[in-house]
Amino acid sequence: MAVTEERLFGKAIKRREDPRFITGRGQYVDDVKLPGMTYAAFVRSPHAHARIKKVDAAAARKVAGVLAVYAGEDVQVGGLPCGWMLPGIKVPARPALAQGKVRYVGEPVAIVIGETPFAAKDGAEAVRVQYEALPGVADGKKAHAPGAPQLFDEIPKNQCFYWTIGDKASTDAAFASAATVVTQPLVNQRLIPNAIEPRACVASYAPGTGDLTLWVTSQNPHVHRLLMAAFVLAIPETKMRVISPDVGGGFGSKIFVYNEEVVVSWASRTLGRPVKWTAERRESFLNDAHGRDHVTEAAMAFDREGKITGLRVKTHANLGAYLSTFAPLIPSYLYGPLLSGVYKIPAIFCEVWGMLTNTAPVDAYRGAGRPEATYLLERTMDRAARQLRLDPVELRRRNFIPPFTDGTPYQTPVAFAYDSGDYAPALRRALELAGYEQARRDQAAARAKGRYIGIGVSTYIEACGPAPSAVAGSLGAGAGLWESGQVRVHPAGSVTVYTGSHSHGQGHETTFAQVVADQLGIPMEQVEVVHGDTAQIPFGMGTYGSRSACVGGSALVKCLDKIKEKGRKIAAHLLEAGEQDLDFKDGAWSVKGSPDRKKAWGEVALMAYLAHNIPQGMEPGLEATSFYDPVNFTFPFGAHVAVVEVDAETGAVKLVKYTAVDDVGRVINPMIVDGMVHGGIAQGVGQALWEHGVYGDDGQLLSATMMDYAMPKADGLPSYTTDRTVTPSPINPLGVKGAGETGTIASTPAVANAVIDALAPFGVTHLDLPLTPQKIWKAVAAAKR
Amino acid sequence: MKLPVKMTINGQTHSHEVEPRLLLVHYIREVIGLTGTHVGCDTSQCGACTILLDGQAVKACTLFAVQADGARIMTIEGLAKNGELHPIQMGFWEKHGLQCGFCTPGMIMAAYQLLERYPKPSEEQIRHQLEGNLCRCTGYHNIVKAIQWAADNMPAKR
């Protein structure tokens, strides 16, 4: 596909969505107010595991302003569906409100609808639920042990699935003949997403027409509509409109269909009035899908030259009490295939046990499987470097996959064929910016003075824009992985772009307008981008997996190709020239060699609608719809370097300097890409140093508020140094790869490696995340004893 | 039982009878209808609800509406004057200090007081002063830059 001269692609253009946000005029779901609106509050389980003996709502119904109370089977809807089936998977039934048993703290048991938020909350407090407490289990590995409490009679040993990838025999052989074997047990701790906007929904059923409108904090409104209409509410999609207006961050947690929007939609239909629910932060902690939570044993085999010959991985993935919408996908196909990283590894074998526990469901969280794989690889590489007495940088260099940038993919032993890559230059640039050699000298000098500086490197690969649909289908997907786009040219030449991608901070209204205006040669002010409303846009898959630019953007390019082709035909007709004799530049078609003979974009658009003089047989109008199904994932990569200083007396870690060099392919708006990288880094540093969703052995969530769950703050982070290398993706017309998750994937191991490096004089070879002062102090104290 | 409250918000006087348990942030959002002030947590950690109350940046979720009786309040909607953006708002736009925009009103109001205290703040001062405002999107890098931009572009005080 030809790319026209670029005036806007690649430019750091200020975001057009910002004026409404900086003036307080954003429109988030909680800002929706409708006539006759009622309010919902949920009664939630205080137990991790219990039988529900009785729900007594008599007192609640007498509370002033309470309209209705519904529990369990009252809500006549289907269960919440799971959208990814692995072979042999056992999927537990997940009712919208708990029936018979509760299986995690915070599971919704009843809903109370009131005329005011206070009435709903007073009513919820008055609902009396009798429970018979049962022993529970919160740990994914303990849940597998003989005698562990059983969540579901029909799922023995709490095991939903056992999944493998790679080749066991060749991996065993690699280990049998290894010169060195490095073993690394590690925990990838549970994280809680915490988008700053809590989840919310407003359902409004119109009894006169039977139409249901749902405003919901969703990253993918069409997927919400499909799953809710077809599987839960059993209504035609024509009777349901889902609107996701401004959404305040998602990070994966707003992909899934949750209990609350299902019950609220049903309640609106039942009562014939709009119903609103907005999560309190504690509810977000308890019921939003969590992330990560792997317990893993990894082992890497090396030959005498320090080259990796094999990788063996065994992971218990804690999935929580029920399978959230895409839960089975995350620790399987988004994890195992990443285990080759940027390294040439001839033999890999990975086993995963998908476990149910008495905890909140676990699903995709920024990176989703890829951070888990990368942390495993990069931590193990550092441990190997120490064992092999090699510099961690040198060990990585020795094992890099050689450059492949000519369109020939690199086939890993774990299914993926990478699109393009050149790993050494990104590492070289990162080390240069970080001043690696000098930092090592400073480190040695500081150690001599009793100061503990650590330097951590991570080189990573990411997989964006999961694809293609047919392969995903054969692997268990309940959805396609394409994206839709629609470009509608108006008679006076302005353009409305409808995208199936959804922006909840990514800035699509700006970047997609850049792409479209660029290719049509018209000013950006002539282009509007519409997203997040199923009544306006064609069926789309939404935004997750860093897919918007590479899949959603490509769908728009396909639309533009059709628009330009039709425009060219009209222009050629008006100019009485052959189509092939026209140039298209700066928003006008002109006859080659006679630039004065031309038709401007606006003239062609107008004629398409006037239809007074268009080629015979041509339909009037100028608009196009496309569905783009990529042939492969894209594979961004890069190298991050963290420098930390550890206070050996207190265990406190200071992140001194952070350098990131990422290759996300071609870049539409560098300002926006840098911003996403910054945010990703902070989230990954959060996992390395602070964040931990902690369940007690009794299944109580001990970190259920922002007082107890340590979010990254401004005063704990430095400014970051960022740069890029550019290796275009050969698989899509824009050459883009994806930038939404790279920072999170790379930064956790970089910082973890830096801290462990700082602690090397104490003989510390590994500590599980997060690397809190207490944990570090204990390790240092133990070493001193 | 309801109690009377009267306060000035963005230059307009409002009087209502409210339940004593109504939080100031919910009064501003639900009763007055100014939805630019957001609620992101229930423990006063996130700062999305930061407003100026008698010139002080406060989290509007830490007060009952009745406690603000007689107060002079400014919310994000009151910051731009006659359609002209305040330098802090411009700084956030210029320096890409926001992504999803949800924490932004609180960040901007916190920055307002920050710049009153430290007209030419160091990076360290900015980071320390923003300790009570959470952002999940930007990693704070560009928020720091936005506030530095605002400091450099504030009109001189007369």
- A22–B contact, CB cutoff 8 A: yes
A583, A606, A628 — which closes off a domain?
A628
Q: Quick check: A719 and B123 CB within 8 A?
A: yes
ipTM higher than threshold 0.85? yes
Q: Which helix (H) or strand (E) holds B17?
A: strand B12-18
Residues A94, A80: Cα–Cα separation, whole Å: 6
Per-residue model confidence as pLDDT tens digits over B73-105: 999 999 999 989 999 999 999 999 999 999 999
Domain enclosing residue A584, as ranges: 482-628
Residues A355, A353: Cα–Cα separation, whole Å: 6
- A654–B contact, CB cutoff 8 A: no
Closest CA of chain B from A280, distance in Å:
6
How far is C-alpha A677 from the geometric centre of its chain's CA atoms? 14
Closest CA of chain A from B158, distance in Å:
25
> Does residue A497 form part of some domain?
yes
Beta bridge partners of A458: A640
Count CA within 13 A, CB hemisphere, residue A398: 18
Alpha-helical segments (H) within A319-468: 370-388, 392-399, 423-434, 436-448
- Same domain? For A457 and A531 the reply is no
Q: Quick check: A196 and B40 CB within 8 A?
A: yes
A628, A648, A667 — which closes off a domain?
A628
- Residue A385 and residue A308 in contact, taking contact as beta carbons nearer than 8 Å: no
DSSP A582: E
> Does residue A534 form part of some domain?
yes
- Same domain? For A732 and A755 the reply is yes
Which segments of A118-199 are extended strands (E)?
128-133, 159-166, 180-191
Residues B9, A374: Cα–Cα separation, whole Å: 50
Mutate to test the interface with B, among A14, A22, A284 (most CBs of B within 10 A): A22
- Same domain? For A785 and A638 the reply is yes
Q: Quick check: A711 and B77 CB within 8 A?
A: no
Is B3-78 a CATH 3.90.79.10 domain? no
- Give the neighbor-by-neighbor strand order of the sheet with A291-302: A159-166, A348-355, A308-318, A291-302, A180-191
Q: Quick check: B102 and A17 CB within 8 A?
A: no
Give the pLDDT score at A469: 86
CATH assignment at residue A776: 3.30.365.10
- Same domain? For A433 and A563 the reply is no
Per-residue model confidence as pLDDT tens digits over A241-296: 999 999 999 999 999 999 999 999 999 999 999 999 999 999 999 999 999 999 99
Residues A356, A317: Cα–Cα separation, whole Å: 9
Q: Which helix (H) or strand (E) holds A348?
A: strand A348-355
Which segments of B41-151 are extended strands (E)?
50-53, 56-59, 72-74
Per-residue model confidence as pLDDT tens digits over A139-148: 999 999 999 9
- Give φ, ψ of B17 to 5 degrees: -105, 125
In this prediction, residue A1 has a pLDDT band, given cuts at 50, 70 and 90, of very low
A25: nearest CA partner in chain B: B36
Instruction: For strands A38-44 and A275-278, give the pairing.
Output: parallel
Residues of A in contact with B128 (CB under 8 A): 714-715
Beta bridge partners of A163: A352
How many CB atoms are closer than 10 A to CB A783?
Answer: 13
Q: How big is the CA angle at B105 (ends B104 and B108), to the nearest 5 degrees? A: 80
In this prediction, residue A3 has a pLDDT band, given cuts at 50, 70 and 90, of very low
> Does residue A567 form part of some domain?
yes
Averaged over A38-52, what is the pLDDT? 98
Per-residue model confidence as pLDDT tens digits over A377-418: 999 999 999 999 999 999 999 999 999 999 899 999 999 999
A507: nearest CA partner in chain B: B99
Between A281, A282, A671, which is nearest B96 by CB?
A671
Tally of domains in chain A: 2
Written as six digits, the tokens of A485 are 């786009």
- Same domain? For A564 and A421 the reply is no
Count CA within 13 A, CB hemisphere, residue A215: 19
- Same domain? For A596 and A735 the reply is no
A610, A628, A646 — which closes off a domain?
A628
- Give φ, ψ of A322 to 5 degrees: -140, 165
Instruction: For strands A108-114 and A38-44, give the pairing.
Output: antiparallel
- Same domain? For A437 and A582 the reply is no
Residues B135, A712: Cα–Cα separation, whole Å: 8
> Does residue A108 form part of some domain?
no
- Give φ, ψ of A530 to 5 degrees: -115, 135
Residues of A in contact with B26 (CB under 8 A): 117
Share of chain A above pLDDT 70, in %: 99
Q: Quick check: B76 and A24 CB within 8 A?
A: yes
Give the pLDDT score at B157: 66
- Tell whether the model's pLDDT for residue A475 goes beyond 90: no
How many CB atoms are closer than 10 A to CB A55?
Answer: 20
- Give φ, ψ of A782 to 5 degrees: -65, -40
- Same domain? For A573 and A454 the reply is no
Instruction: For strands A275-278 and A66-71, give the pairing.
Output: unpaired
Q: Quick check: A711 and B134 CB within 8 A?
A: yes
Residues of A in contact with B137 (CB under 8 A): 196, 249, 505, 675, 679
Per-residue model confidence as pLDDT tens digits over A716-742: 999 999 999 999 999 999 999 999 999
Cα-based torsion angle of the residue sequence A728, A732, A736, A738 in order, rounded to the nearest 10 degrees: -120
> Does residue A509 form part of some domain?
yes
Q: Which of residues 207-266 of A touch B (CB under 8 A)?
A: 246-249, 251
A185: nearest Cα among A775, A765, A781, A770 = A765
Q: Quick check: A706 and B130 CB within 8 A?
A: no
The torsion region of residue B53 among left (phi > 0), alpha (psi -120 to 50) and beta comes to beta
**Domain boundaries defined on chain B:** 3-78, 87-153
Residues of A in contact with B40 (CB under 8 A): 196-198, 248, 281
Cis peptide before A468 (omega within 30 of 0): yes
Alpha-helical segments (H) within A506-617: 508-520, 554-575, 601-610
Q: Is A427 helix (H, G, I), strand (E, B) or coil?
A: helix
Cα-based torsion angle of the residue sequence A365, A97, A67, A212 in order, rounded to the nearest 10 degrees: 60
Residues of A in contact with B37 (CB under 8 A): 24
Q: Quick check: A679 and B19 CB within 8 A?
A: no
Give the pLDDT score at A6: 58
Mutate to test the interface with A, among B28, B41, B79 (most CBs of A within 10 A): B41
Q: Which helix (H) or strand (E) holds A723?
A: strand A720-724
Residues of B in contact with A28 (CB under 8 A): 35, 38, 102
Written as six digits, the tokens of A624 are 């196009």
Give the pLDDT score at A2: 39
Residues A726, A729: Cα–Cα separation, whole Å: 9
- Same domain? For A750 and A621 the reply is no
Encoded amino acid at A475, one letter = L
CATH, domain range B87-153: 1.10.150.120
- Same domain? For A616 and A687 the reply is no
- Same domain? For A585 and A727 the reply is no
In this prediction, residue A7 has a pLDDT band, given cuts at 50, 70 and 90, of confident
CA distances (Å), A360 to each of A43, A198, A771, A776, B67, in order? 16, 16, 24, 29, 37
To the nearest whole number, what is the mean pLDDT of chain A? 96
Count of A-B CB contacts under 8 Å = 184
The shares of helix, strand and coil residues in chain A, as percent rounded to the nearest 5, are 30, 25, 40
- Same domain? For A600 and A686 the reply is no
Per-residue model confidence as pLDDT tens digits over A511-550: 999 999 999 999 999 999 999 999 999 999 999 988 999 9
- A675–B contact, CB cutoff 8 A: yes
